[in-house]
């Protein structure tokens, strides 16, 4: 018999139950071949006396091992290491191990028309992003506390017995109330479905609307991953310009007169990439056009929650549009890119169609995270967190804008946005942005957000400078590096 007393160690003060500690060590002894298949183990009474533990503790350990097929018991009198250990031994059919997967697939497949998203490595001192939130102010403890409350066998069983493809009732109730309060909407929970981020919602809505050859109105430039969806679905993009007041609504009107337009995709708040907020005059005119032309619209309001003026503009969806506006938003700009919570608002039959489509690629929502956030919404903490973040981002926006105008007026120009998390920096003709990016990279600064070079035919070169996630020291560092690239 092995000297179990000196081999098996346990800590009665550990968070892990003693029987589990004993069981895991016995598994290790079996895996290492120290306890061989068929070998007899000491009786529960003997091992308990040896280790100075209660016999029930050893029984619990043995029972756990029996449940996992590591050991077998003969009428609970004799315990032996199983001769059929639960270890998976892969067998090769070909006789020798080889990899089947090389860089190139042996079959043809439909390559999506989407540019590969850059992998951001950690080799730079600073990465300036596209406009993501500050993770340092994230209420980590409260989220963990609420999430932990949900991690019970009962909740897991209950959650796994429902489909909830479009979101849990608790979250939808709280989210609908939050959106009605903050955006002047007037919706019921059945008017919304939950998606994994706004991106999925845009894809679902567009897929339900677009057939190959359909014409879709977009701005130029536009959020490139929305354009990629429409192109992937076979749409023809009709482009309208964006100026200091947002999308050119007169150009939208003439496009509507001259073409049969299936869909308008628009970002009225902090347009991506240019950050411009559409003026109220244009919003009123656009709402009239939407009604007159019965125009289907995707309103992408990805970062509505961050507006720096005292009386923020409400979304088009809160105006009079006869149900033509499909309103899409995201919590990823509040919570951070790691939390994939977005939503789509529309009429019930359209949402049912979206749910059918969603069920082909995603059978459930992240119900535990939904409930966690719903609890924070219910207690008011979610809104207070947005207020706190808004204040910080407003400050960082001003700080970055001041620094850039003081330090780099000869290199670039921009208009300070009315909200959001990024500045749209347009570089003066005489400077090559590609050259600046290369030099900045060698000095430890990477621009990870949307960048528009000459080849994109915009007539100027520009990039998004996400200020929300970086502190003042790092903003200073970024501006200093830009200065040193000259």
Ligand X SMILES: Cc1ncc(COP(=O)(O)O)c(C=O)c1O
What is the length of the chain? Answer: 486
Query: Which of 21, 168, 199, 318 forms a contact with ligand X (CB under 6 A)?
Result: 199
- Tell me: does residue 468 bind ligand X (CB under 6 A): no
Contact 417, 424 (CB under 8 A): yes
CA atoms 277, 283, 286, 291: torsion sign: positive
Of the pair 197, 268, the CB lying nearest ligand X is at: 197
x/- contact string, 233-272, with ligand X (CB under 6 A)? ----------------------------------x----x
Q: Is 230 in the site for ligand X (CB under 6 A)?
A: no
* Beta carbon of residue 235, minimum distance to ligand X (angstroms, whole number): 17
Closest to ligand X by CB, 129 vs 461, is 129
Question: Considering the complex, what minimum distance in angstroms separates the CB of residue 450 from ligand X?
Answer: 8
Choose one: 32-40, 139-147, 197-205, 208-216; the region binding ligand X (CB under 6 A): 197-205
Sheet with 422-427, strands from edge to edge, namely 412-413, 422-427, 461-466, 451-452
The yes or no reply on residue 203 touching ligand X (CB under 6 A) is no
Closest CA to 40 of 77, 7, 6, 12: 77
155, two tokens: 């909740």
> How many residues bind ligand X, per CB under 6 A?
12
Cβ atoms of 268 and 246 within 8 Å: the answer is: yes
Does 302 bind ligand X (CB under 6 A)? Our answer is yes
Give the range of 28-36, 149-157, 194-202, 454-462 binding ligand X by CB under 6 A.
Answer: 194-202
The reply to whether 300 sits near ligand X by the rule CB under 6 A is yes
Rounded Cα–Cα distance for residues 18 and 54 (Å): 10
Window contacting ligand X (CB under 6 A); options: 66-74, 193-201, 231-239, 358-366: 193-201
Query: Is residue 140 exposed (0-12), middle (13-18) or buried (19+ Cβ within 10 Å)?
Result: exposed
Using Cβ positions, the residue closest to ligand X within the complex turns out to be: 197
By CB under 6 A, name the one of 22, 53, 193, 198 that touches ligand X: 198
CB of 267 to ligand X, least distance (A): 5
- What is the distance in angstroms between the CA of the first residue and the CA of the last residue of the chain? 77
* 223 is an interface residue for ligand X by CB under 6 A: yes
Nearer to ligand X, 19 or 265 (CB): 265
Kindly tell me which residue out of 342, 420, 449, 466 binds ligand X, with binding defined by CB under 6 A. 342
Closest CB to ligand X among residues 47, 205: 205
DSSP letters for 7-40: H----TTSSS-HHHHHHHHHHHHHHTTSS-TTPE
Residues 59-88 that bind ligand X (CB under 6 A): none
Pick the closer one to ligand X by CB: 318 or 330.
330
Span near ligand X by CB under 6 A; candidates 87-95, 105-113, 170-178, 191-199: 191-199
Work out which of 330, 346, 372, 469 binds ligand X, going by CB under 6 A: 330
Nearest to 274 by CA among 451, 424, 448: 424
Site for ligand X in 109-128 (CB under 6 A): none
- The least distance separating ligand X from the CB of residue 333, rounded to whole angstroms, comes to 7
Nearer to ligand X, 8 or 218 (CB): 218
Strand-pair partners of 193: 344
Going edge to edge, which strands form the sheet with 261-266? 192-195, 342-345, 325-330, 297-300, 261-266, 215-220, 236-243, 246-247
Token pair for residue 444? Answer: 């430890």
Number of H helices, E strands in the chain: 17, 17
Using the rule CB under 6 A, give the single segment among 23-31, 145-153, 196-204, 240-248 that binds ligand X. Answer: 196-204
CA distances from 147 to 45, 62, 75, 144, 160 (A): 41, 32, 42, 5, 16
Q: For residue 301, state whether it binds ligand X (rule: CB under 6 A).
A: no
List contacts with ligand X (CB under 6 A). 130, 197-199, 223, 267, 272, 300, 302, 330, 332, 342
């Amino acid at each position: 018999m092995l000297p179990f007393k000196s081999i098996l160690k346990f800590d009665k003060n550990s968070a892990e139950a003693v029987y589990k500690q004993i069981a895991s060590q016995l598994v290790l002894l079996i895996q290492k071949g120290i306890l061989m298949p068929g070998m007899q183990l000491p009786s529960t009474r003997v091992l308990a006396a040896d280790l100075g533990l209660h016999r029930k503790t050893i029984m619990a350990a043995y029972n756990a091992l029996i449940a996992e097929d590591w050991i077998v018991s003969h009428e609970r009198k004799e315990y032996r290491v199983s001769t059929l250990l639960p270890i998976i031994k892969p067998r090769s059919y070909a006789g020798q191990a080889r990899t089947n997967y090389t860089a190139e697939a042996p079959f043809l497949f439909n390559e999506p028309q989407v540019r590969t998203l850059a992998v951001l490595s950690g080799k730079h001192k600073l990465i300036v992003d596209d406009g993501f939130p500050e993770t340092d102010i994230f209420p980590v403890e409260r989220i963990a506390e609420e999430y932990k409350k949900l991690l019970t066998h009962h909740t897991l069983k209950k959650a796994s017995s429902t489909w909830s493809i479009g979101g849990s009732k608790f979250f939808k109730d709280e989210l609908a109330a939050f959106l009605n309060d903050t955006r002047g909407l007037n919706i019921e929970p059945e008017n919304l479905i939950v998606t994994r981020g706004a991106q999925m919602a845009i894809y679902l809505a567009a897929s339900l609307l677009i057939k190959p050859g359909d014409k879709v109105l977009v701005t130029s430039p536009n959020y490139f991953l929305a354009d990629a969806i429409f192109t992937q679905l076979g749409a023809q993009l009709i482009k309208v310009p964006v100026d200091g007041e947002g999308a050119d609504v007169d150009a939208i009107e003439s496009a509507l007169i001259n073409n049969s337009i299936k869909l308008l995709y628009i970002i009225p708040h902090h347009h991506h990439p240019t950050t411009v907020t559409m003026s109220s005059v244009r919003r009123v005119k656009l709402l009239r056009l939407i009604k007159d032309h019965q125009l289907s619209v995707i309103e992408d309001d990805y970062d509505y929650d961050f507006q720096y003026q005292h009386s923020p503009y409400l979304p088009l969806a809160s105006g009079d549009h006869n149900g033509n506006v499909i309103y899409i938003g995201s919590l990823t700009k509040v919570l951070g890119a790691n939390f994939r919570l977005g939503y789509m608002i529309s009429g019930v039959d359209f949402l049912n169609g979206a749910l059918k489509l969603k069920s082909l690629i995603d059978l459930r929502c992240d119900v535990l995270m939904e409930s966690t956030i719903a609890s924070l919404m219910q207690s008011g903490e979610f809104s207070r967190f947005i207020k706190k973040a808004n204040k910080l981002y407003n400050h960082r926006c001003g700080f970055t804008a001041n620094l850039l105008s003081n330090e780099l007026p000869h290199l670039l120009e921009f208009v300070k946005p009315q909200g959001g998390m990024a500045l749209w920096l347009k570089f003066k003709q005489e400077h090559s942005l590609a050259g600046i990016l290369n030099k900045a990279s060698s000095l430890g600064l990477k621009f990870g957000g949307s960048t528009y070079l000459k080849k994109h035919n915009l007539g100027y070169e520009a990039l998004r400078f996400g200020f929300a996630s970086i502190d003042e020291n790092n903003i200073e560092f970024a501006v200093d590096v830009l200065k040193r690239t000259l």
